[in-house]
A = this chain, B = another copy of it.
């Protein structure tokens, strides 16, 4: 019988769980580097900043990779999570919009993870096109289609002004990009079958402001009575 394409189209993993897998991944990498062979859900929970029951339930969605009485084999679990997250393969990434933020992202050595490699920088400003940032030259956004195809880019990082965010997102999608990380402070939609995640500084600050206010924050509170 013909099996499915690709690696793991098995059980459905809840979104909330997917969002925590990277935490476990990071904790496991650190633990592995210390040559620790196994890890309990309790310890993993502590490292990931969640609770142990959640860890076990999350991992149980991936399969039964633990051993009762012992815990999880660090290397094995790391391998399974990597595979699930697609970190065993290479993801060429494009950054669109080489302003303050785009430049910082282009120079950022903390995509942390193996796998994600910035292979193209785009901007609409002809002044910027051709300028080098690290090892890459900024390319014209008019070449988006061609470059995305040539370099197999599946993930785009959007760091453009709010006013053009939707337009640029549409062009990324049309070029074949399937995932977008959007830093533009604007509502922006993509068709079904394309993923988008949003990072919005203004929104984060406003949320913090809400809770800060609720705590009765006229002046900042000195931590005078910390014990």
Measuring CB to CB, which residues of chain A are less than 8 angstroms from any residue of chain B? Answer: 5-9, 18-19, 21-23, 25-27, 47-49, 84-87, 89, 91, 93, 100-101, 103-105, 107-108, 110-113, 115-116, 148-149, 152-155, 162, 173-181, 185, 187-189, 191, 193, 195, 197, 199-223, 226
How many chain copies does the complex carry? 2
In the complex, what residue of chain B is closest to A161 when comparing beta carbons? B110
**Cβ-defined contact, B113 with A221, below 8 A:** no
Would you give the shortest CB distance from A56 to chain B, in whole angstroms?
A: 18
User: A21-B206, A206-B22, A206-B85 known; A213 and B173 CB under 8 Å?
Assistant: no
| Extra 8 A-B pairs, beta carbons < 8 Å, given A22-B202, A100-B108, A177-B220 | A22-B203, A101-B104, A111-B205, A112-B185, A115-B209, A116-B202, A155-B208, A179-B212
With contact pairs A85-B210, A211-B179 given, residues A185 and B222 touching in the complex (Cβ less than 8 Å): no
B202 engages A197 (CB within 8 Å): no
Closest to A84 in B: B210
A197-B208 contact given A103-B104, A213-B86, A218-B6, CB 8 Å threshold: yes
A215 touches B203 (CB 8 A): no
The distance in angstroms between the C-alpha atoms of A7 and B108, with both chains bound, is 41
Nearest-CB distance from A216 to chain B (Å)? 5
Cα A149 to Cα B220 with chains together (Å): 8
Known A-B contacts A91-B205, A205-B93, A207-B197; the reply to A7 vs B213 at CB < 8 A is: yes
